[in-house]
């Protein structure tokens, strides 16, 4: 693993005020790009209103973020016709290490990492689509057709051979995973993280907590940045769930003091916060 294990938590209502699927898709594309630029490892989506009323938004966000993080050569195998992906063509390319441009087997190198999907089996093992003109062989029959895996090239020749790896075994940034949580409280009360930072215009100026955050950041392995919605900040979201935000985070910070707009959209706050922490915390 490279650097810190960084997670961001964003609310489902990030797209609620955007009526058309095309604009929703574009907005989620910005979130995916921001996460990839600043090497976010995991994106958590949480309902900031009734989960029942936001289930469609959550499903759409997860679908689009998973799609944009998937290499283009695997999308046909992993995503069928889906109305949620009607405007997927406007999603920006991530150009992360797990999205290689090479599509020729002769240019592959032993030791190279590529994502793959199991497309068949034979006596010797499983056949894997890895984005070149011929399939690779994985000598491990525990997998099923359709499984999405990470591979490493271990042999070249008439038959390309690969081995399976976990995301943690890849020594470079490998995109992000996406998951849903049942509520903001399920994140706030989670003991998984070494450092929890919430963002809010009601928080303390980041500059006033900068030295303390920097020291904590250096010693933390698992970090989460929490973001609220434009019309309901994290204090309001937490209060609605009976949670004291300050008691369930390490820091509540204002990343845009004296903001010139009445509200800051979640995707804007995301870019601002990640830019600042990337510059000063060296994760």
Q: Note whether 128 and 255 are same-domain residues.
A: no
Q: How many domains does the chain have?
A: 2
pLDDT number for residue 1 = 34
What's the CATH number where 154 sits? 2.40.50.140
Report how far apart, in Å, the C-alpha atoms of 104 and of each of 108, 126, 182, 245, 265 are.
Answer: 7, 20, 43, 52, 42
Residue 24 domain-assigned? Answer: yes
For residues 165 and 152, what is the distance between their CA atoms, to the nearest angstrom? 7
Query: What CATH number is associated with residue 53?
Result: 3.40.1280.10
Instruction: State the chain's mean pLDDT as an integer.
Output: 93
Same domain, 74 and 114: no
Contact residues for 144 (Cβ-Cβ < 8 A; gap 6+): 118
Residue 177 lies inside a defined structural domain of this protein = no
- Please write the tens of the pLDDT for every residue from 234-254: 999 999 999 999 999 999 999
Q: Would 176 be classed as within a structural domain?
A: no
Helices (H) and strands (E) in the chain, counts: 7, 11
Full residue range of the structural domain in which residue 127 is found: 105-166
Cα–Cα dist 105/207, whole Å: 51
Give the C-alpha distances (Å, rounded to integers) separating 157 from 96, 106, 140. 27, 9, 19
Indicate the residue among 119, 136, 166 that finishes a domain: 166
Residues 86 and 119 in one domain: no
Residues 211 and 269 in one domain: yes
pLDDT, position 131 = 97
Question: 217 and 83: one domain?
Answer: yes
* 264 occurs within a structural domain: yes
Q: Which residues contact 77 (CB under 8 A, 6 or more apart)?
A: 117, 119, 129, 146
Q: 19 phi and psi, to 5 degrees?
A: -75, -35
State the DSSP code for 179: E
Instruction: Give a yes or no: residue 175 inside a domain.
Output: no
pLDDT of residue 258: 87
Is 171 within the bounds of a domain?
Answer: no
Task: Mark whether 198 and 158 lie in a shared domain.
Answer: no
Tell me: do 221 and 276 sit in the same domain: yes
**Last residue of a domain, which of 120, 140, 166?**
166
| Nearest C-alpha neighbor of 201 from the set 275, 267, 243, 262 | 262
The answer to whether residues 78 and 112 belong to one domain is: no
Write the secondary structure of 209-253 as one string of H (helix), E (strand) and C (coil).
Answer: HHHHHHHHHHHCCEEEEECCCCCCCHHHHHHHCCCCCHHHCCEEE
CA-based nearest residue to 269, from 192, 199, 203, 222: 199
Q: What is the reported pTM? A: 0.93
Q: What is the pLDDT of residue 282?
A: 62
- The residue among 132, 166, 200 that closes a domain is 166
263 and 205, same structural domain?
Answer: yes
Count of other CB atoms within 10 angstroms of residue 128: 24
**194 within a domain of the structure (yes/no):** yes
Q: Which two tokens stand for residue 264?
A: 């800051």
- Give the per-residue pLDDT at 234: 96
For residues 244 and 113, state if they share a domain. Answer: no
231 domain residue, yes or no? yes
Q: Do 148 and 127 share a structural domain? A: yes
Q: What is the DSSP letter of 195?
A: E
pLDDT of residue 3: 59
- Under-70 pLDDT residues of the chain: 1-3, 282-283
Q: Encode burial over 13-30: b for 16+ CB neighbours within 10 A, e otherwise.
A: bbbbebeebeebbbbbbb
Claim to verify: residue 269 and residue 213 sit in the same structural domain: yes
């Amino acid at each position: 693993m490279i650097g810190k294990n960084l997670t961001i938590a964003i609310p489902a209502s990030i797209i609620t005020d955007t009526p058309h699927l095309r604009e929703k898709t574009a907005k989620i594309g910005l979130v995916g790009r921001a996460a990839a630029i600043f090497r976010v490892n995991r994106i958590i989506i949480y309902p900031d209103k009734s989960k029942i009323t936001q289930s469609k938004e959550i499903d759409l966000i997860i679908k689009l973020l998973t799609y944009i993080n998937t290499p283009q050569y695997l999308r046909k195998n992993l995503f069928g016709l889906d109305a949620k992906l009607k405007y997927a063509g406007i999603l920006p390319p991530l150009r992360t290490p797990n999205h290689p441009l090479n599509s020729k087997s002769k240019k592959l190198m032993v030791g190279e990492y590529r994502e793959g999907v199991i497309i068949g089996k034979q006596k010797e093992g499983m056949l894997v689509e890895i984005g070149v003109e011929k399939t690779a062989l994985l000598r491990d029959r525990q997998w099923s057709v359709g499984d999405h895996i990470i591979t490493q090239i271990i042999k070249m020749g008439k038959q390309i051979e690969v081995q399976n790896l976990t995301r943690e075994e890849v020594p470079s940034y490998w995109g992000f995973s996406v998951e849903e949580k049942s509520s903001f409280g399920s994140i706030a009360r989670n003991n998984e993280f070494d450092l929890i930072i919430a963002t809010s215009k009601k928080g303390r100026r980041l500059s006033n907590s900068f030295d303390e955050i920097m020291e904590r950041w250096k010693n933390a392995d698992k970090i989460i940045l929490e973001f609220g919605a434009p019309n309901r900040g994290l204090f309001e979201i937490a209060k609605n769930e009976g949670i004291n935000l300050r008691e369930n985070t390490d820091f509540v910070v204002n990343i845009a003091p004296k903001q010139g707009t009445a509200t800051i959209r979640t995707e804007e706050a995301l870019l601002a916060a990640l830019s600042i922490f990337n510059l000063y915390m060296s994760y």
